[in-house]
Amino acid sequence: MNAALLLLADSRLPAGGHAHSGGVEEAVRAGAVTGLDDLARFLRGRLATAGLVAAALAAAACELASTAADAAPAILRWRRLDAEADARTSSPAQREAARTQGRLLVRTARRIWPSPALSSLARAVPDGAHHPVALGATAAAAGCDPGQAALAAAYASVTGPATAAVRLLGLDPVTVHRLLADLAPSLNETACAACTAPHPEHGAVDPDDAWTADPDSPWAALPATAAPALDLLAENQLRAATRLFVS
């Protein structure tokens, strides 16, 4: 048990998460999400795609934050992991939103849980690391393990859209929370799947060779499940005349 995980997953953490709908705002505008049944399908689809990818990246970042001690090598490793997140985010709008969230999270986390890992991540990606990478580094700084980081990322991938749907559609918050409760087994499964993906610390390749390999990345085998519908929603929302959420 780790109380820090609760703090990390708390929506009241001042890291800008309340401003992101995870694609629900545009889905509501397009008529793709109109009620509870649509929302349930949306959340399951998001968890199986973007949620899994985010969880795997967060787990990798948490493990990296716990093992990368040297300043210069750590900066190189952070940049490579962030590049993996970039490669898995097809939509420019989604990339911008993820980096904005990541930048705000690191800024907040460095005040709450100061750590060398967060400082090296901020130096490595000054414009803002992708949110899952920032979340994993924050989880390590808070004392969480990679599995907990993955669970926090999976949880955030569905709770943000669920909360936005309550605001946008006037849904019953208790009923929407029931949808999230039904997703609990899938959240655990997603976190477990994210932590079993091969990367250097799991022995898939030799860590010392992997960091210097070029152009191959030690995290190339992490999940890269695409979500074209979410990409299209993000791009369309960017052009919307009025928006309640930034993404």
**Token digits of residue 162:** 């669920």
The pLDDT tens digits for 43-54 are 999 999 999 999
**CATH number for the domain running over 35-212:** 1.10.4190
Of 89, 72, 67, 135, the C-alpha closest to 234 is 89
Q: Which residue has the higher pLDDT, 199 or 98?
A: 98
Q: Is the pLDDT of residue 218 over 50?
A: yes
Amino acid letter, 237: Q
Amino acid letter, 9: A
Label residue 41 by pLDDT band (50, 70, 90).
very high
The span from the CA of 204 to the CA of 53, in Å, is 18
Question: Could you tell me the residue ranges of all domains in the chain?
Answer: 35-212
Asked if residue 108 lies in contact with residue 13, where contact means CB atoms within 8 angstroms, the answer is yes
3-state secondary structure of 87: helix
- Among 10-19, 27-36, 108-117, the minimum mean pLDDT is found in 10-19
